[in-house]
Amino acid sequence: MQPSSSRDVFRGRLLRLTVEKWPGGEREVVHHPGAAAMVPLDGDDVVLVRQLREAIRSDTLEIPAGILDVPGESPEECAVRELREEAGYGAHGVERLGFVHPSPGFSDERIDIFSCRAERVGDPEEGVEVVPMRFSHALQAIQEGRITDGKTVAGLLLAAQRGR
Amino acid sequence: MQPSSSRDVFRGRLLRLTVEKWPGGEREVVHHPGAAAMVPLDGDDVVLVRQLREAIRSDTLEIPAGILDVPGESPEECAVRELREEAGYGAHGVERLGFVHPSPGFSDERIDIFSCRAERVGDPEEGVEVVPMRFSHALQAIQEGRITDGKTVAGLLLAAQRGR
């Protein structure tokens, strides 16, 4: 399934934007390399990261995640690497929770989500604050609008459904 | 909190893309008008819609939703209107479930999510198939990767947490 025509209107370092002709009309489409995220469980805690998200002019509480930008690396390997690099935690017993399309109305981005038992092995990345939080408090933070990142909401609720 | 400089690289009908300078480096940011979505409950069913999502070259099963493109309309009014226009259902007893930022790494999009008791009052929009589904089956469909739209995963799991 492909558009009848497509023209690039922007090519950046992360994103490519096309304007495409489809039977339903013209579509503006953001092409994204995809990402992988980890729900890191440490006893009763989930290990979250707080960082500035310039696009929304605010910081966020999120599960560790990263863009699929290493050739040949699987989403699972990417999620494990990002947990190590971003938060300074190692992963054991990785399980796949599923995947989401965050914004299928205008973007092809797909995020694969995993969970693991996490163990602190080093320091977080510069600009990233590690926030271990009781899993039950994190679910409460979603209800209260203190966690709003889509992949984090999906990941935590998927992990809760599995009984963590 | 604003970038030290910003230049428009694309202005479309839906999206605006800027390249911005921040202390952490250059950021490509997709500016989106925002959206509102509804988890419509009809007895034991949730009313989903199936439609083509050109950006991911596939159709999706989603909760009804729409872009905030009517001046002066609140997110709740938008969600109620989209349920009516897209699926042909009326809304009773609307409740707010929360909001998500689907992709805060590169987009300012925010989606407000509501739930309601829904009642069929007309026909769906052209190109949209209405799919009533047992709520428990919809949760199963998330686990099995048959529902992957981020706002739908968030909305259904938020509604499940509230005991629907």
Looking at the partner chain, which of A28, A57, A110 has a beta carbon nearest the beta carbon of B1?
A57
pLDDT in tens, A55-80: 999 999 999 999 999 999 999 999 99
Q: Give percent of chain B with pLDDT exceeding 70.
A: 99
Residue B149 bridge partners (DSSP): A101
- One-letter amino acid of B128: V
Cβ-Cβ pairs closer than 8 A, A with B, add up to 186
Q: What is the ipTM of this complex?
A: 0.96
Residue A23 has pLDDT above 90, yes or no: yes
A-chain residues near B127 (CB < 8 A): 24
Q: Give percent of chain A with pLDDT exceeding 90.
A: 96
Residue B71 has pLDDT above 80, yes or no: yes
pLDDT in tens, A24-55: 999 999 999 999 999 999 999 999 999 999 99
Q: Do A53 and B105 touch (CB under 8 A)?
A: yes
Residue B143, helix vs strand vs coil: helix
Mark B25-59 as b/e (b = at least 16 C-beta within 10 Å): eebbbbbbebbbbbbbbeeebbbbbebbbbbbeeb
Q: What pLDDT, on the 0 to 100 scale, is given for residue A162?
A: 87
Q: What is the mean pLDDT of residues B73-101?
A: 98
Q: What pLDDT, on the 0 to 100 scale, is given for residue B87?
A: 98
Residue A4, chain B, CB below 8 Å: the answer is: no
Q: What pLDDT, on the 0 to 100 scale, is given for residue A27?
A: 98
Residue B152 has pLDDT above 90, yes or no: yes
Q: Do A10 and B10 touch (CB under 8 A)?
A: yes
Q: What pLDDT, on the 0 to 100 scale, is given for residue A164?
A: 66
Query: Which residue of B107, B114, B161, B164 to mutate against A (max A Cβ within 10 Å)?
Result: B107
Q: What pLDDT, on the 0 to 100 scale, is given for residue A163?
A: 82
Q: What is the mean pLDDT of residues A84-92?
A: 98
State pTM to two decimals.
0.96
Other C-beta atoms closer than 10 Å to the C-beta of A163 total 5
Query: Could you give the domains of chain A?
Result: 1-31 (no CATH), 37-161 (3.90.79.10)
Residues contacting residue B56 through CB under 8 Å, at least 6 positions apart: A101, A104, A108, A110
Residue B164 has pLDDT above 70, yes or no: no
Q: Which two tokens stand for residue A85?
A: 């690099």
Q: What pLDDT, on the 0 to 100 scale, is given for residue A125?
A: 95
Residue A52, chain B, CB below 8 Å: the answer is: yes
Residue A159, chain B, CB below 8 Å: the answer is: no
Q: What is the mean pLDDT of residues B51-79?
A: 97
- The residue behind tokens 């989209």 is B82
Looking at the partner chain, which of B29, B30, B101 has a beta carbon nearest the beta carbon of A150?
B101
Q: What is the mean pLDDT of residues B59-80?
A: 97
Q: Which two tokens stand for residue B111?
A: 């989606």
d(CA B10, CA B15): 8
pLDDT in tens, B88-122: 999 999 999 999 999 999 999 999 999 999 999 99
Other C-beta atoms closer than 10 Å to the C-beta of A47 total 24
Q: Do A29 and B54 touch (CB under 8 A)?
A: yes
Residue A2 has pLDDT above 90, yes or no: yes
pLDDT in tens, B6-41: 999 999 999 999 999 999 999 999 999 999 999 999
Residue A157 has pLDDT above 70, yes or no: yes
Residues 65-124 of A with CB under 8 A from B: 67, 98-110
